[in-house]
Amino acid sequence: MRTQVVIIGSGPAGLMLGQLLHLAGIDTLILEQKSREYVLARIRAGVLEQGCVDLLQRIGVGARLRQEGLAHQGFEICFGGKRHRINLNALTGGTNVTVYGQTEVTRDLMDARAACGASSVYEAEQVSVHGFDSASPVVRYRKDGVQHEIACDFIAGCDGFHGVCRQSVPAGSIREFERVYPFGWLGVLSETRPVSEELIYVNHPRGFALCSMRSPTLSRTYVQCSLNDKVEQWPDERYWDELRSRLDEAAASTLVTGPSIEKSIAPLRSFVVEPMRFGRLFLAGDAAHIVPPTGAKGLNLAASDVHYLSESLIGYYHGKNEAALDEYSPRCLRRVWQAERFSWWMTSLLHNFPDNGDFGQRIQQAELEYLVNSEAALKSLAENYVGLPY
């Protein structure tokens, strides 16, 4: 079998890239290790930058997003028991963010791919990549006990942090940058009315908290917890009591509790690999970088990655432009590091760090006070939160 581009991974990054290339007349095959149902069951981020929204609309998967997505003109930061609203729309000259769950983005993209008849293989086992340092890459996998081999021009590694693509790059060809944070996020999804119409980020002596949502009837909330904690140590009653203790009085009084639909603990890390291209293998999304979720940049960075990658591949196929391939990694990394900086800053601003001490706590408090009283600081926060241009 032969195709032009093999895309490994059927998350948002792989599906977006597949749709972008399909619209440009470029043949693709998507390989996914898990089942379609498993991919759709993953609970992930839900705040989309305007650039991501525009991209989804451009590739024809914006109908349900327009109908069900929640446009947010701002969000709130709470510290010292008081909330401060960040007016994104006013500070950026009219730009908003949209709350629409990653699961829904994935579903829309899967439906679009099926509608156009493009090929996807789910539950592909033992996927391996070969020859990407040559002009003739090959991808192998097993399906239902049968071995398959696909010849292709390029391989797009959209297979996540633990995927095979990055692990297949020779160690001497890649450089990794990483910071692991000394805490996690305990997240709960519940069929309850959100605390507020906008997100609330909380800095509290007991630890960070976030009140978010997926819809007007579906809440997604988080509390900072120890990396040693287990989900079993957090029955619903304990979780809601802890969240309430970290909220301001007004928010605590309006908090609606209920049984958790999903509950999990996620560690936080910052991670980047350089470069993001190795011959005819390209890394995109979580395969190339991880951001702490505080800045809501994970899915949005995947969108900008595949935007750049599609432009490079389209330039190669339509313009016979080899130089377009060389532009991919530098273009991505400029934006990636800006998002990493912002996510690190938001994380440092809002969380309790075990080794901060009294001095560190006072510095954090001073930073928060400066932020909410400085128009320049607020504009910088808003500009980064809604997303830097592609």
Report the pLDDT averaged over residues 218-245.
97
Span 70-90, average pLDDT: 97
Q: What is the pLDDT of residue 284?
A: 98
Shared domain check, 18 and 60: yes
pLDDT value for 359: 95
User: How many domains, the chain?
Assistant: 2
Residue 187 and residue 220 in one domain: yes
> Which pair of tokens denotes residue 92?
């950026």
- pLDDT over 80 (residue 367): yes
Q: Is residue 314 part of a domain?
A: yes
Q: How many helices (H) and strands (E) does the chain have?
A: 14, 20
Q: What is the pLDDT of residue 329?
A: 98
User: How far is the CA of 86 from the CAs of 55, 74, 104, 375, in angstroms?
Assistant: 25, 5, 27, 10
Taking the C-alpha atoms of residue 209 and residue 71, their distance in angstroms, rounded to an integer, is 22
Same domain, 35 and 119: yes
Answer whether residue 77 is part of any domain: no
Q: What percent of the chain has pLDDT over 70?
A: 100
Crossing angle of helices 298-319 and 12-23, in 10° steps, is: 30
269-302 residue pLDDT tens? 999 999 999 999 999 999 999 999 999 999 999 9
Q: Rounded distance, CA 40 to CA 109, Å? A: 11
Task: Judge if 142 and 208 occupy the same domain.
Answer: no
Q: Which residues are designated catalytic?
A: 72, 201, 293, 297, 385
Read off the pLDDT band of 261 (50, 70, 90).
very high
CATH of the domain at 123: 3.50.50.60
Judged against a pLDDT cut of 80, whether residue 176 lies above it is answered with yes
* Position 88 confidence tier, pLDDT thresholds 50, 70, 90: very high
Bridge pairing between strands 119-121 and 175-190: unpaired
Residue-level pLDDT at 44: 75
Residue 246: predicted pLDDT: 98
Residue 80 in domain: no
pLDDT confidence of residue 27: 98
For residue 153, pLDDT beyond 80 = yes
Confidence of residue 321 (pLDDT cuts 50, 70, 90): confident
Q: List Cα–Cα distances, 83 to 77, 219, 246, in angstroms.
A: 6, 19, 12
Mean pLDDT of 178-191: 97
| Res 258: pLDDT | 97
Same domain, 164 and 303: yes
In a domain, 260, yes or no: yes
Average pLDDT over residues 53-58: 96
Q: What is the CATH number of the domain that holds 236?
A: 3.30.9.10
Out of 37-51, 126-140, 168-182, 328-342, least confident range: 37-51
Range of the domain at 303: 5-72+97-178+269-346
**Average pLDDT of the residues in 330-356:** 97
Q: What is the pLDDT of residue 319?
A: 85
